[in-house]
Amino acid sequence: MARAFDITTTSPTLKLGGNRKGEVAFTVTNSLGHPVRGRAVIVPEGATPPEWLSLGGDAERDFPANGTHVYQVQVAVPPSQAAGEHAFHLLVADQSNPDEYFAESSPVAFKVPAPVVAPRRKIPWWIPVAGVAGLLLIVLVGVLIGRNKKEEEPGTGGSGGVTQAEPPPPAPVLTFNGTTSYVDLGEPLSLEITGPITLEAWIRPVNSNGVQNIVARGYISSPSGEVFLRIVFGTYQAGSYMEGRSSGVTSASMPLQDVNKWVHLAGVYDGEKWKIYRNGELLAEAPQAQGGGFPIDARWAIGAKAAGGDRTFNGNIRDVRIWSVARTQEQIGEDMKEPPDKDAEGLAGYWPLDEGRASRIKDHSGNEAHGFIHGAQWAPP
């Protein structure tokens, strides 16, 4: 594999100022010998919280052959954070082929000093006494009001009131460990899709690291090909490629707040462009002359590449849907929180992933495209 980028920094350590803030510069040089569009991602090490770290300027930049960019990383530690040692490094990847062409910098370490504790002010004796007296008065008034209300409420058959039924508990969710787990969907006839296609899922990612397939066909290397909805080094991506055909991918930055939160994603190829939607809103689009679904000799999978072992997802996935048509933004927004009708146009497969037990995943589209769990575990919602 060719060396993708050379990454250097002025110092392996960063000293924070009195305000617990600091900044370090990374110089990144394109070493691939041709122009590329690179994306930089800050990777926290150990227990370093990602919200302390931010990137100055654009994460995605165009690199000429042998071209150089300087990335500034800012560190801001909360005032109450306990003392400790932390570190991070910078990862830069070629957006067109991020799992093959990327580079990582050496770690940059920094120390967090002990927080400054302000001296405690002596509280006058009468303040807590007045507070306790006020609290007792509030409790007494509350008891009297509650007693009067209970006496006024009409009974029902001597029961003292009508008891409301509790809603049923939410369904369990499938958890993917980011190393070995996935769902094998095989190669059912309903998923032999060529041209326009829509891939949808609700996800709750643990992190945005590496390449994490959400739902995909492939990846295979000989002949190469893949159709995918995935996370790649801090971006959401949807796209496809096949040896001998044009390739296409659209990508958009993954908001930091999406980590450990439920997010709905949809990747759509409408015959001309790949589009990606987050919670029903269009994030990005990119052209592909002849793309979408390809007749790749590969299996479909949820949470990894076909047959697992690579591009594994870390977190929860539910409500996966694959369509043989390009769904509109309106359709995606209206239907993402409701199960689709079995006779919905173009519904090729629908897996709620809510069984809660066993290892078989049922396809609710009526096409019998059932799947099997490998390593993933059921967990409370």
pLDDT by residue (tens digit) across 344-364? 999 999 999 999 988 899 999
- Kindly report the average pLDDT of the chain as a whole number: 86
- Flag whether pLDDT at 105 surpasses 80: yes
The confidence band for 35, taking pLDDT boundaries of 50, 70 and 90, is very high
Amino acid at 260: N
Phi, psi of 368 (to 5 degrees): 60, 30
Secondary structure of 149-165 in the HEC alphabet? HHHHCCCCCCCCCCCCC
Q: Of 225, 201, 227, give the one whose Cα is nearest residue 214.
A: 201
Neighbouring CB atoms inside 10 A of 127's CB total 8
Determine the Cα–Cα distance for residues 273 and 329; give it in Å rounded to an integer: 14
Q: Is 131 helix (H, G, I), strand (E, B) or coil?
A: helix
Q: String of b and e for 77-110 (b: at least 16 CB within 10 Å)?
A: beeeeeeeebbbbbbbbbbeebeebbbebebbbb
**What tokens appear for 125 in the block?**
């004796």
Say if residue 77's pLDDT is above 90.
yes
* 257 DSSP 8-state letter: G
Beta-carbon count within 10 A of 207 CB: 17
CA distance 48 to 346: 45
pTM, entire model: 0.66
Assign 332 to helix, strand or coil. helix
The predicted pLDDT at position 158 comes to 38
pLDDT at res. 290: 82
The yes or no reply on domain 173-379 and CATH 1.20.1050.10 is no
Distance of CA 36 to the CA centre of its chain: 25
Q: Specify whether the CB–CB gap between 89 and 103 falls below 8 A.
A: no
Residue of 90, 98, 85 lying closest to 38 (CA atoms): 98
Of 34 and 154, the structure prediction assigns the larger pLDDT to 34
Segment (H or E) for 239: strand 235-242
Answer whether 51's CB lies under 8 Å from 98's CB. no
Task: Report the Cα 72 to chain-centroid distance in Å.
Answer: 24
53-56 sheet: strands from edge to edge:
5-9, 21-30, 68-76, 53-56
Q: Which CATH class is domain 5-112?
A: mainly beta
Q: How far is CA 293 from CA 97, 133, 159, 218, 280, in A?
A: 19, 72, 62, 11, 22
Beta bridge partners of residue 314, listed in sequence order: 177
**What confidence tens digit (pLDDT) does each residue in 169-179 have?**
578 999 999 99
Query: What pLDDT was estimated at residue 374?
Result: 95
Quote the pLDDT of residue 187. Answer: 94
Numbered ranges of CATH 2.60.40.10 in the chain: 5-112
Q: Where are the CATH 2.60.120.200 domain residues in the chain? A: 173-379
The token pair at 297 is 């000799």
